[in-house]
Amino acid sequence: MLVSLREIGKYVDISGLTPEEIANRLTFSGIEVEEIKYSAQATNLIIGQVIECENHPDSDHLHVTKVNIGSDILDIVCGAPNCRKGLKVIVAQVGAMLPGGEIKKGVIRGKESNGMLCSLRELGVDNKYLTESQINGIEELPEDAPIGETNVLAYLGLDDVILDLSLLANRSDCYSLYNVAREIGALFNRKVNIPSEKEQGTYKDDIVVSSETKNCEQISIKVVKGVKIKESPKWLKDVLQSEGIRSIDNIVDIGNYVMLLTGQPIHMYDLDKLTKRELIVKDNFDEEVVALDDKTYKIIPGDLVVTYDNKVGCIAGTMGTKQVEVDANTKNIAIEAANFNHAAIRHTSSRLGLISDSSQRFVKEINPNQYEYVLNLTARLVKELAEGKEVSLTNTYDVLDHSKKIVNCSYSYINRRLGTDFSKEVIKNTLTSLNFEIKDVNDDEFTATVPDWRIDISDGKADLSEEIVRYNGFDRVKAELPVMETTVGGLKFTSLRERAVEEYLLENGFDETLSYTLLNEKDNSMFNYLLKDDGYAISNPLTEDRKFVRRNLLTSLLRTCEYNLNRKNNNFKIFEISQMQTKNQLEDHLALAFVGNSYTQSKLKPVAYNFFDAKGILESILRMFNIQEARIRLERLSEGNEFHPTRSAKVFLDGKLLAVLGELHPLIKNEFSIGKTPLVVMELNLSLLFNTKSSANKFQEISKFPSVSRDYAFVVSDQIKYSDIKKEIKKSSALIKDINVFDIYKGENIKEGYLSLAINITIEPKDHTLKEDEINLIDKKIREVITLKLKGEIRQ
């Protein structure tokens, strides 16, 4: 909302207040002034006349002039093409401050110049208000412009200041200059003068006014006969321009002006085009209409329309239709002031993508108690500016509740809610200044009658507390920490565990990345191993790229890898933890990636990351949550085509799918422009891990007796999995504490289909030092398992 201070000054005394003071006070009380715009900004200007104009001898476009400013004649060099002898001009004298800087005495190519001849653009006037020639040349003042006049901005009508208000959703009442004037009057304790309007009507017209929908509870019409459509007077054009509205003709301009003043949108019909003299609001139409912007709109049931003769005369509150438009030949008009349901207008306006100054006001609630005033104001202006001859009394359909809103409140409540100590007097004066009527009920309680235009005050007491504090300043609120029962704060179950996983990964050199939740269809169709059920799709996506709520975290992580590889970040480890949601599941996932090589030191000894890097992290995380190895089962990933078919796995915890991990399929690596860079990933369902039962940390006696360590090397079929070998050997004695592989060899001297394995077995006694024969017995059993069970051949 643009507010011209020149215009506001007509309704509230703002003398002595600077625009900055007004803006600051408004902003802190909840009406944010986004910008203070000066129509023009310049000092030390004077009106002069060019009395000599010669071409500059050393330039093809400069002029050397003598300019008469009354008290003096100035030598000025000017580059404007339209500079000529006899022209009345705006002179910025030496020392003048213009938006572009200070004007200084100078010598231009050998010729002295004591000032500058100005265009309006150079005074800071926005190009959009200027013609092409005004932009390209100096301003040509009329012949009667007074030489020597120093108040040049006022002479030009450019001494206005515009406040650009950014209105909060609840303060739509300030889409009205009158209400902004009231607000300023209250805040600065200045006299407000909103003119009253007399009844303009002199006869009863027979036009029928009605509504057939509960979404319009009031519609009122005044008829004005004998109008003449013409250009608006300059003052009205100036007002509209300063408010950013283009002037059309007197009738349209009056409508906009009235709306600007009062906040009530009005609409005007050509009375003679109404084939039946009625205006009835309906919401059951289903047809296409051509609106005033010459565009066709499809009206559907539910859209409010003002109809006549069963035809649409206006898309209610939004825009009129072409067929009853006021045009250059219009003689008689019907003026409408109605109260349409804001939700209904919002629906229609947003569905049609049709937003007008009128609909912008109607989508908020409007003051229900001013339509008579508005119609009389409009009719008076039509008489004055459009030669309106005869004005009817108002014909109204009105079932609207016009009762005043009354709030029950107490002085103590307000201070209690705010943490303030405002006196009764201050509270009462504040509310009275803001046009509330206050009546004391008893020593503490009072009632406040809400002014008609403050439709935002609906919930009562809390609203009043806001009025008090925004008016008197938030610096009156005493900062004091809340006094509550002491409670132990902290992270909840999942967040606490997530932080532990995060810390573990960070400490192990992973960077923690962040990515978008919404994916395109293709990315969302990959890597869906952990969450199988339907995901969510956005019904009103901004782009197809951000349409699906992701069901896996790996695709996003791989896009992050891709982004980095494209920027020559070649070797890194990253992870991300995120909430994942599908129609039936809500769980947190961890995704991580090893990219490129690990290096021992600087770039020494590169080792390409592989499957076991990811598996190591998995094992470590499982250990952090005390998950016994026996509860974990790994399976090759047989489905899907994203992973390397023989270097990837599904991980089950107690039979439930916990994670997928592995190296990627070369073809998928190409999809992500990863190429040949080694890359290993894992996605793990943290929620499953966190919510599974695991044993608590508990002290167990550490064996006091020396353990025995034995190495075994044997050749065995490469089809037997290491986990089976370990499991079988473990069975041979309860005293086997640990089995570790320390060599695997395949190749020369080992026949095809076999490998040589070397393992170290730790045997730990429980209650006595093992004797030679006991050790030999265990050794014998281990050898039996290797040779008989595993069909291995022990190497000597």
Question: Among residues 91 and 577, whose Cβ is nearest to another protein?
Answer: 577
Instruction: Name the segment binding another protein (CB under 8 A); options: 49-57, 446-454, 504-512, 756-764.
Output: 504-512
Q: With 0-12 CB in 10 A as exposed, 13-18 as middle and 19+ as buried, what is 696?
A: exposed
Q: Which residues pair with 337 in a beta bridge?
A: 220
Block residue for tokens 């201050």: 426
Site for another protein (CB under 8 A): which residue of 128, 402, 567, 751?
Answer: 567
Number of residues that bind another protein (CB under 8 A): 92
Question: Taking CB under 8 A as the rule, which mask of x and - marks residues 423-462 in contact with another protein?
Answer: ------------------------------------xxxx
Question: Among residues 599 and 612, whose Cβ is nearest to another protein?
Answer: 599
Question: Among residues 262 and 513, whose Cβ is nearest to another protein?
Answer: 513
Site for another protein (CB under 8 A): which residue of 89, 187, 418, 590?
Answer: 418
| Residue type (1 letter), 678 | P
747: how many CB neighbours lie within 10 A of its CB?
A: 8
Residue 660: CB minimum distance to another protein, A: 22
Instruction: Name the segment binding another protein (CB under 8 A); options: 302-310, 369-377, 574-582, 677-685.
Output: 574-582
Range 545-564, binding another protein (CB under 8 A): 546, 549, 560, 563-564
Site for another protein (CB under 8 A): which residue of 107, 328, 399, 542?
Answer: 542
Instruction: Name the segment binding another protein (CB under 8 A); options: 131-139, 393-401, 498-506, 697-705.
Output: 498-506
Q: Compute the distance between CA of residue 24 and CA of residue 642 in angstroms, rounded to an integer.
A: 60
Angle made by CA atoms 467, 468, 472, in degrees to the nearest 5: 115
- 401: tokens are 């509740």
Site for another protein (CB under 8 A): which residue of 569, 677, 733, 787?
Answer: 569
495: how many CB neighbours lie within 10 A of its CB?
A: 12
How many residues are there in the chain?
Answer: 796
Q: Compute the distance between CA of residue 763 and CA of residue 772 in angstroms, rounded to an integer.
A: 13
Residue 552: CB minimum distance to another protein, A: 15
**Which of 587, 602, 718, 729 is closest to 659 using CA atoms?**
587
- Decide: is 625 part of the binding site for another protein (CB under 8 A): no
Q: Reduce the DSSP state of residue 162 to 3 states and report it.
A: strand
- Decide: is 584 part of the binding site for another protein (CB under 8 A): no
Site for another protein (CB under 8 A): which residue of 4, 5, 7, 29?
Answer: 29
Site for another protein (CB under 8 A): which residue of 572, 625, 652, 754?
Answer: 572
Q: Compute the distance between CA of residue 707 and CA of residue 198 in angstroms, rounded to an integer.
A: 109
Q: Where are the beta strands (DSSP E) in 45-175?
A: 45-55, 63-68, 73-78, 88-93, 97-98, 101-102, 106-108, 111-113, 115-117, 161-166
* Cβ atoms 477, 418 nearer than 8 A: yes
Q: Annotate 567-630 with three-state secondary structure.
A: CCCCCEEEEEEEEEECCCCEEEEEEEEEECEECCECCECCEECCHHHHHHHHHHHHHHCCCCHH
Question: Taking CB under 8 A as the rule, which mask of x and - marks residues 109-128 in contact with another protein?
Answer: --------------------
* Cα separation values, 419 from 412, 416, 448, 482, Å: 10, 5, 21, 11
- Decide: is 420 part of the binding site for another protein (CB under 8 A): yes
Question: Among residues 543 and 697, whose Cβ is nearest to another protein?
Answer: 543
Element (H, E) at 728: helix 722-731
Range 264-303, binding another protein (CB under 8 A): none
**Which of 392, 310, 351, 430 is closest to 29 using CA atoms?**
430
Residue 754: CB minimum distance to another protein, A: 37
Residue 183: CB minimum distance to another protein, A: 12
Instruction: Name the segment binding another protein (CB under 8 A); options: 125-133, 309-317, 342-350, 655-663.
Output: 342-350
Alpha helices for 29-78 (secondary structure H)? none
**Eight-state DSSP code of residue 791:** -
* Cβ atoms 215, 283 nearer than 8 A: yes
Site for another protein (CB under 8 A): which residue of 15, 71, 144, 169?
Answer: 169
Range 674-703, binding another protein (CB under 8 A): none
Residue 419: CB minimum distance to another protein, A: 3
Residue 95: CB minimum distance to another protein, A: 26
Q: Where are the beta strands (DSSP E) in 226-346?
A: 267-270, 278-282, 287-290, 296-299, 305-308, 311-315, 319-320, 333-340
Instruction: Name the segment binding another protein (CB under 8 A); options: 184-192, 224-232, 578-586, 633-641.
Output: 578-586
Question: Among residues 380 and 589, whose Cβ is nearest to another protein?
Answer: 589
Residue 693: CB minimum distance to another protein, A: 22
Question: Among residues 481 and 667, whose Cβ is nearest to another protein?
Answer: 481
* Cα separation values, 406 from 413, 423, 451, Å: 16, 22, 10
Site for another protein (CB under 8 A): which residue of 2, 6, 9, 30?
Answer: 30
Site for another protein (CB under 8 A): which residue of 43, 44, 82, 170?
Answer: 170
Angle made by CA atoms 259, 262, 263, in degrees to the nearest 5: 60
Site for another protein (CB under 8 A): which residue of 507, 748, 752, 767?
Answer: 507
Range 510-539, binding another protein (CB under 8 A): 510-518, 536-539
Question: Taking CB under 8 A as the rule, which mask of x and - marks residues 348-387 in contact with another protein?
Answer: ---------------xxx----------------------
Question: Among residues 144 and 507, whose Cβ is nearest to another protein?
Answer: 507
Q: Compute the distance between CA of residue 228 and CA of residue 386 in angstroms, rounded to an integer.
A: 5
Q: Compute the distance between CA of residue 30 and CA of residue 168 in angstroms, rounded to an integer.
A: 8
Range 397-416, binding another protein (CB under 8 A): 416
Range 586-605, binding another protein (CB under 8 A): 586, 598-602
Question: Taking CB under 8 A as the rule, which mask of x and - marks residues 310-329 in contact with another protein?
Answer: --------------------
Element (H, E) at 134: helix 132-136
Range 32-51, binding another protein (CB under 8 A): 32
Site for another protein (CB under 8 A): which residue of 195, 233, 419, 645?
Answer: 419
**Which of 35, 20, 77, 73 is closest to 54 using CA atoms?**
77
Element (H, E) at 24: helix 19-28
In degrees rounded to 5, what are phi and psi of residue 69?
-110, 25
**Which of 718, 700, 714, 796 is closest to 761 using CA atoms?**
714
Range 458-497, binding another protein (CB under 8 A): 459-463, 465-466, 469-470, 474-475, 477-492, 494-495
Residue 496: CB minimum distance to another protein, A: 9
